[in-house]
Amino acid sequence: MKKFVFRTLCAVLALSTVLAGCGSTNQANEGTGQSPQAGNKEQVFRVNIKTEPPTADPGLAQDAISMAVAKAGFDGLMRLGEDGKLHESVAESYKISDDLKTYTFTLRESKWSNGDPVTAHDFEYAWKRVLNPATASEYAYQLYYIKNGQKANAGEVPTDQIGVKALDEKTLEVTLENPAPYFLELVSSVTYMPVNKKIVEGNKDWANEASTYIGNGPFIMEEWNHKSKITFKKNPTYWDEKNVKLEKLEYNMIEDTNTELNMFENGDLDWAGSPLGDIPSDAIATLEDRLETQATAGTYWYVFNTKQAPFNNKKIRQAFAYSINRQALIDNIVQTGGTAALGILPPSMMLKPEGHFKDNDAEKAKQLLAEGMKEEKMTKLPEITLLYNTDELHGKLAQAIQDQWRTTLGVEVKLKNMELKVVRDAMKQGDFQVARASWIGDFNDPINFLEVYKTDGGSNRSGWSNPEYAKLLDQSMVEIDPEKRKKILLQADEMIMEEMPVTPLYYYTYKWLKKDDVKGVVIDALGFVDYKYARRE
């Protein structure tokens, strides 16, 4: 591997952080991502994920909960270690071509939890499956960096023209559209994990029950009591089994944050709060000395349906966005020392640090609303409903913003909460006006946030489309000069904040409580969690 490529990768991964009191690795394991011995404590870890995951299929996962579940059961070519560095995982080694567009991975000996060998063909099948339009994977865009990935997903070329090929059982060759210095980080993500073709094609519901959930990761799903609990046990045939210390990993589904906190205090949970659960907002002040916090590359936002009145009008969207008092929300509800979001890009990849608009600009908001209604020949706004998934924090924020819109704009907004999967389905069908959503980066580059609202972006629920915006993003993908690329992306960033199909509220800061003996939970700079190295000491 070229040294300058390695430096680029390290610059990206330097943002990754290992949390939860991991301690230092022992001398023998230094630099390998391996954990020290866990001692004689019972190796059971219990955490809350709040709700039933919409899916446990790594190729379909698009939210933090689904990804955390899938990451327990699956393993990719690369994986972030406890030392905060990226390491070869199922890949034993890799080579990068001189033009930085071809990656050749050599796989180590590893097995599926049913005993089948993991091969390069499994990766080729999994990636092509994600890109196959029939799969309807909303994270397919993550594989657009692969040659013909986007064209295949659009149905313009057959999947056999995608630039991924198993040369033999242990060799995978990947050809990219353009150099992507973050590609190794990408292949460590859940979407790039392999699946077993025989299992997937033999049962369309394979990922819905523990008995049919076949993975290649550090844990095997033992029980899935829907809407209650998912239990994993240690995978004895996992290639890195010696560095997996937990015997059991329990995901509890508790929506009420007070119940979650009480269970933690009573010893029924070993971790409460972020990144998969939450702490009651009214308890944060009293818990301040015990809470651990970490800023992460995520933005909490509201999406406007630009296909429906009144949010088909840009000025009305801007009016609702500008009338929100974000700092008041942070001070009184979020209470994590977070930052008011005046753009969709989080601090780690921000292109305009001063922000794109003024927080709580009431006079401007009133002016824009009046102008927008005049343009639409409206004397009264239609009934407006704000949709959010059931959660204490989401509910309190929605109520506060409902009050702000009433006070500043004189607008009455109804609130509607539903289960996460139902909300996602409604947004996918365009059956909403304003809806709560968020984005946590898949890799630490502005393109990952900006491409969400590209015309053909798999996660664009706003209905907003702008050819010039899409053109800018396409230009950024082929521009190799870093400064020129930054200017192109800034133009796109300014354009989307002018059009306002989405209004950012705040940047995520994770907060949690954990038992003192919990070590080795890995939370990267993007906020994704991995329990492979978790242990009790």
Kindly report the CATH number assigned to the domain that includes residue 475: 3.10.105.10
Nearest to 185 by CA among 103, 109, 110, 119: 103
What number is the average pLDDT over the span 258-287?
94
Nearest to 9 by CA among 78, 91, 90, 104: 78
Q: What is the pLDDT of residues 149-183, one digit of tens each?
A: 999 999 999 999 999 999 999 999 999 998 887 89
**Residue 258: inside a domain:** no
Looking at the structure, tell me whether residues 382 and 433 fall in a common domain: yes
Please tell me the predicted confidence (pLDDT) of residue 18: 46
**Residue 455: inside a domain:** yes
Q: What is the pLDDT of residues 213-223, one digit of tens each?
A: 999 999 999 99
d(CA 331, CA 335): 5
Amino acid at 388: Y
How many percent of the chain have pLDDT more than 70?
A: 92
Nearest to 526 by CA among 9, 64, 60: 64
**Residue 283: inside a domain:** no
What number is the average pLDDT over the span 230-236?
98
Tally DSSP H helices, then E strands, for the chain.
16, 22
Nearest to 525 by CA among 185, 45, 138, 91: 185
Q: Are 438 and 508 in contact (CB under 8 A)?
A: yes
**Residue 360: inside a domain:** yes
Q: What is the DSSP letter of 85?
A: S
- Whether the pLDDT of residue 22 is over 90: the answer is no
Looking at the structure, tell me whether residues 476 and 530 fall in a common domain: no
Phi/psi at 69 (nearest 5 deg)?
-65, -50
Residue 26's CATH number: 3.90.76.10
Q: Where are the beta strands (DSSP E) in 21-121?
A: 44-48, 78-80, 86-88, 91-96, 102-107
Q: Which two tokens stand for residue 183?
A: 């590609």
Looking at the structure, tell me whether residues 519 and 506 fall in a common domain: no
Looking at the structure, tell me whether residues 46 and 144 fall in a common domain: yes
23 — pLDDT class (breaks 50, 70, 90): very low
Radius of gyration of the chain (CA): 23
Please tell me the predicted confidence (pLDDT) of residue 337: 64
33 — pLDDT class (breaks 50, 70, 90): low
Nearest to 33 by CA among 43, 46, 22: 22
Looking at the structure, tell me whether residues 125 and 24 fall in a common domain: yes
Please tell me the predicted confidence (pLDDT) of residue 20: 41
* Listed range (32-36, 51-55, 531-535) with the worst mean pLDDT: 32-36
Q: Where are the beta strands (DSSP E) in 1-63?
A: 17-18, 44-48
d(CA 322, CA 357): 7
All residues at 6 or more sequence positions from 289 whose CB lies less than 8 Å from its CB, including other chains: none
Please tell me the predicted confidence (pLDDT) of residue 35: 52
Omega within 30 of 0 (cis) for the link into 353? no
Sheet holding 229-234, edge to edge: 44-48, 248-252, 229-234, 219-225
- Whether the pLDDT of residue 5 is over 70: the answer is no
Q: What is the DSSP letter of 175?
A: E
User: Could you tell me which residue, 41 or 469, shows the higher pLDDT?
Assistant: 469
Using alpha carbons only, give the angle 76, 188, 272 rounded to the nearest 5 degrees.
100
Question: Across all residues in the chain, what is the average pLDDT?
Answer: 91
Looking at the structure, tell me whether residues 369 and 439 fall in a common domain: yes
Please tell me the predicted confidence (pLDDT) of residue 484: 94
| Full residue range of the structural domain in which residue 426 is found | 294-510
- Whether the pLDDT of residue 231 is over 90: the answer is yes
Looking at the structure, tell me whether residues 482 and 333 fall in a common domain: yes
**Residue 269: inside a domain:** no
Looking at the structure, tell me whether residues 370 and 463 fall in a common domain: yes
Q: What is the pLDDT of residues 303-359, one digit of tens each?
A: 999 999 999 999 999 999 999 999 999 999 988 767 899 999 999 899 999 999 999
Number of domains in the chain: 2
What number is the average pLDDT over the span 463-477?
93
**Residue 406: inside a domain:** yes
**Residue 289: inside a domain:** no
- Residue 104 bridge partners (DSSP): 95, 173
The count of C-alpha atoms lying within 13 angstroms of the C-alpha of 452, restricted to the half-sphere facing its C-beta, is: 25
Looking at the structure, tell me whether residues 496 and 525 fall in a common domain: no
**Residue 504: inside a domain:** yes
Helix (H) or strand (E) segment spanning residue 127: helix 120-131
Looking at the structure, tell me whether residues 435 and 525 fall in a common domain: no
Looking at the structure, tell me whether residues 25 and 44 fall in a common domain: yes
Strands 518-519 and 535-536: antiparallel
